[in-house]
Structure 1
Amino acid sequence: MTTDAFSDPAQVTFEKIRAAAALIEGAVLQTPCLPAPRLSQLTGADVFVKYENMQVTGAFKERGALVKLSSLTDAERARGVIAVSAGNHAQGVAYHAGRLGIPATIVMPVLTPFVKISATRGYGAEVVLAGNTLAEAKEEADRLATQNSLVWVHPYDDAHVIHGQGTIGIEMLDQQPDLDVLVVPVGGGGLIAGIATAAKALKPSIEVVGVETTLYPGMWGAFYGKEVICEGATIAEGIAVRDIGLLTTQVIKQRVDDLMLVSESSIERAINAYLTLQRTIAEGAGAAGLAALLMDPDRFAGKRVGLVLCGGNIDPRLLSKIVVRELARDGRLVSIRIDTPDRPGTLGEIATVIGDMQGNVVDVEHHRLFLNVPAKGATLDVTFEAFDRPHGERIVAALRNRGFVVRYLEIGERMD
């Protein structure tokens, strides 16, 4: 894959980001950057959120895609474009290529969430599924680009794309000029390279911090000179990048202050916080910045922190699973196994104990036919809602005081 820019960071300038902002005005939404008091209370920082999940395609990628597509000659437009993406870049390219009448082919890994595949096709692009990773998808895209003389629209390692993404930095500091820190998700590096360039030009004192998942720490390794391994199934597939950009790496080394790594569980917690506290949807990559504040609150305590919620294209089934898992982690959804005598009225007695203590039974499984259950006994798997962890513990203690043998289960655990 080639780019139209050298890896010299001087290719990425604030003046070109300013020009990109004028170019995309009216075609890309200027999303709000608003205070988030409940996230501030949760993290100890003074949090402001840039809602890029409000874009037509649900993510920031439209910005860079439009700037790149607008730079093409008439002959290049006629040939058509190709891109590799796990979803958001795909949708940005597909949407604006459709608007501009440019044929687009998008190669996506076969494990890309269905919601992103269907959305990309819905914008009129030809979608090709190939490989389990972006690197494997790229191999097929290289073949198609050569075979059909298609023009590459790189997801991050392209000066036009970086300039487009940098318009977010201009907007954030225009909307919230007193920010101390910008916390930005990092995959290939295009978003943070553009934002850092704009932010440092407008406010040299501002700190720019990048965030990667621990499973894909490619840019962190390059930034700190560490050998790293990038692999594994991550909830933040939008930043699961094995091959980081050459140009973006140089810009980041020069203009970004720090890179952090966050765990999968912290990203899940951040997705849930956006949903339950902010009433907005963040995909894994979009929640990475908030995950950094949750993992290391002391790092940001008392600072005015701008978070880039860069995308909200999450599979609804995955989102519902995360909500249930977070309820369990918080102790508000409790799953227990109870050994009981097999006699009439036992289930009612258990339900009465839970109900009298204001618990809410949501699921019951009654086992009496398994060989590891006594012939005159039964086992109940009960899931109930509680106000909080201490409340759930009091309910379990009440059941034990009534003579029941109770043990905790992981949510989803079933009889062997």
Structure 2
Amino acid sequence: MSDLVDLAAIETAAERIAGGVLRTPTVPSPGLGSLLGAPVLLKLEQLQRTGSFKPRGVLAKLATLSEAERAAGLVAVSGGNHGLAVADVAGAAGVAAVVVMPENAPARSVAAARAAGADVRLTPDIPAAFALAGELQAAGATLVHPFDDPVVLAAQGTVGLELAQDAVTLGEPPTDVLVSIGGGALLSGVATAVRALLPDTRVWGVEIVGAEAMSAALAAGGPAPVPITSAITTLSAPSASQLTYDHVRALVHDVLVVPDADAVRGSVELAEYAGIWAEPAAGCLVAGARRVLERHPDARLALVICGANADVADVAGAR
């Protein structure tokens, strides 16, 4: 079992990345609350630099690298958002970066990563992307892993730190917080912060049919490879890591799995009822919220809207 990140590490990460990221708002959503029949808070991380929470982890990791590690250049593997964050942060810091993405990654993320100065390389699928990134790391590049890194995990936990603080300020805190799962760093970090500050609050993970890395890990008693069939690339990790599995097993109430179509429907509902555009990786939380309310009809919900890097064509293609 790996050591778990604690609240102190998340608070350190918050200091480390201060000034480099937005403190995104946490707001009530009367419209979505009306749709679901329960109070809803939204943590609007789609407003973050590069359109997702990912720069938090990248900035924290870059701050810990030696000059030699920076000079070697960065390599990242990504279904979209992590690669875009690495490209943006590295470009601003004058550090070379190679970003490896699958061919079906959102076109806007590929274009934006290239515009930021990264060398973007496309592979047939996510497993091939991880394999190529591993080769580049073996050749000397510095890997910035999207989820298997305690520094990155702690920085993603700053989302949960802000959410918990804001929820207390806004009034009655949520009984249930929902977070999307790719490799699990965001869920792990948010769960660490929320359970430390709001110990009676349940934290739920939501993942997609055909990208069930965390569900598979929980069923197997540890990380296990999974076939990727979901069209939602930003949640398509080929496996969880021991680090994220350990956090989820210890801190997360349950992991819910919803189909692609429900995640796309959730994106549309977030637009129609909450007035925000979010990618299906966040839309899946609306479907997850319905599952939570089936079990806990009196729940007060908080949803972490993780990103908005999908255009209409991407969403339509995931249906």
1:239 corresponds to = 235
Letter in 1 for 2:203: V
Determine whether 1:153 maps to 2:153. no
Q: Displacement, 1:296?
A: 5.2
Q: Distance in 2 between matches of 1:135 and 1:117?
A: 18
One of 10, 15, 19 as aligned partner of 1:17: 10
Cα deviation for residue 116 of structure 1 reads: 1.0
Deviation at 1:189, TM superposition (A): 0.8
The answer as to whether partners of 1:182 and 1:206 remain within 8 angstroms in 2 is yes
User: Comparing 225-234 with 312-321, which one deviates more in the overlay?
Assistant: 225-234
| Residues 260-299 of structure 1: pairs in structure 2 closer than 5 A | 260-295=256-291, 297-299=293-295
CA deviations on 1:355-390 (whole Å, 9 max, x unpaired) are xxxxxxxxxxxxxxxxxxxxxxxxxxxxxxxxxxxx
Asked whether the 8 Å contact 1:157–1:245 carries over to 2, the reply is yes
Partner of 2:193: 198
Query: Offset at 1:301?
Result: 2.5
Shift of 1:290: 1.4
Which of 212, 222, 228 matches 2:207?
A: 212
Aligned residue number for residue 96 of structure 2:
103
Alpha-carbon distance between aligned partners in 2 of 1:294 and 1:237, rounded to the nearest angstrom: 23
1:94 shift after superposition: 1.1
Task: State percent identity of aligned pairs.
Answer: 34
Equivalent position of 1:139 in the other structure: 131
Q: Distance in 2 between matches of 1:201 and 1:321?
A: 39
Match of residue 180 from structure 1? 175
Contact 1:262 1:295 in 2 (8 A): no
Name 1:58's counterpart in structure 2. Answer: 51
1:168 aligned to 2:164?
A: no
Which residue matches 2:248? 252
TM-score (norm 1): 0.72
Partner deviation per Cα, 1:382-413 (whole Å, 9 max, x = no partner): xxxxxxxxxxxxxxxxxxxxxxxxxxxxxxxx
Given that 2:216 and 2:226 are in contact with CA atoms closer than 8 Å, whether structure 1 keeps it comes out as no
Cα 1:294–1:269 shift into 2, 3 Å: farther
**Contact 1:217/1:229 (<8 A) preserved:** no
Report the alpha carbon displacement of residue 232 of structure 1 after superposing the two structures with TM: 4.8
CA distance in 2, matches of 1:190, 1:211: 13
Larger Rg computed on CA atoms: 1
Distance in 2, matches of 1:160 and 1:269, equals: 34
Q: CA deviation at 1:129?
A: 0.9
Contact residue 182 and residue 209 of structure 1 kept, 8 A: yes
The answer for the alignment partner of 1:312 in structure 2 is: 308
AA paired with 2:254? D
In structure 2, the residue matched to 1:221 is 216
After superposition, the Cα gap between the structure-2 partners of 1:266 and 1:128, relative to the gap in structure 1 and judged at 3 Å, is same
CA contact (8 A) 1:45 1:300 kept: no
Displacement, 1:32?
Answer: 0.7
Deviation at 1:52, TM superposition (A): 0.7
Tell me how far 1:196 sits from its aligned partner. 0.8
Q: Give the Cα separation in 2 of the matches to 1:42 and 1:224.
A: 33
- SS of 1:261's equivalent in the other structure is strand
Q: Which has the higher helix share?
A: 2
1:73 counterpart (66, 85, 94): 66
Secondary structure in 2 matching 1:9: coil
Match of 1:8 among 2, 6, 9: 2
How far apart, CA to CA, are the structure 2 residues paired with 1:102 and 1:321? 34
SS of alignment partner, residue 75 of structure 1: helix
Please give the per-residue CA displacement for 1:220-276, whole angstroms capped at 9, x wherever unaligned: 122244899843542422111222111111111111111111122211210100111
Q: Once the 2 structures are TM-superposed, how far is the Cα of residue 277 of structure 1 from its aligned partner?
A: 1.4
Q: What residue ranges of structure 1 are gaps of 5+ in the alignment?
A: 1-6, 326-416
Flag structure 2 segments of 5+ consecutive residues without an equivalent: none
- Report the AA paired with residue 104 of structure 1: A
Asked if the contact 1:266/1:294 (under 8 Å) is kept, the reply is: no
Moved more, 163-172 or 210-219: 210-219
Q: Distance in 2 between matches of 1:202 and 1:296?
A: 21
* Secondary structure class of the residue paired with 1:145: helix
Deviation at 1:126, TM superposition (A): 0.9
Closer/same/farther in 2, CA of residues 93 and 114 from structure 1, 3 Å limit: same
Q: Tell me how far 1:87 sits from its aligned partner.
A: 0.7
Equivalent residues of 1:235, 1:284 under 8 A apart: no
Please identify which structure carries the higher strand content.
1
Q: Distance in 1 between matches of 2:303 and 2:2?
A: 28
CA contact (8 A) 2:52 2:81 kept: yes
Quote the offset at 1:17 in angstroms. Answer: 0.4
Higher relative contact order structure (alpha carbons within 8 Å, sequence separation ≥ 6): 2
Q: Distance in 2 between matches of 1:139 and 1:23?
A: 30
**Per-residue deviation at 1:67?**
0.5
2:230 is paired with a residue whose SS is coil
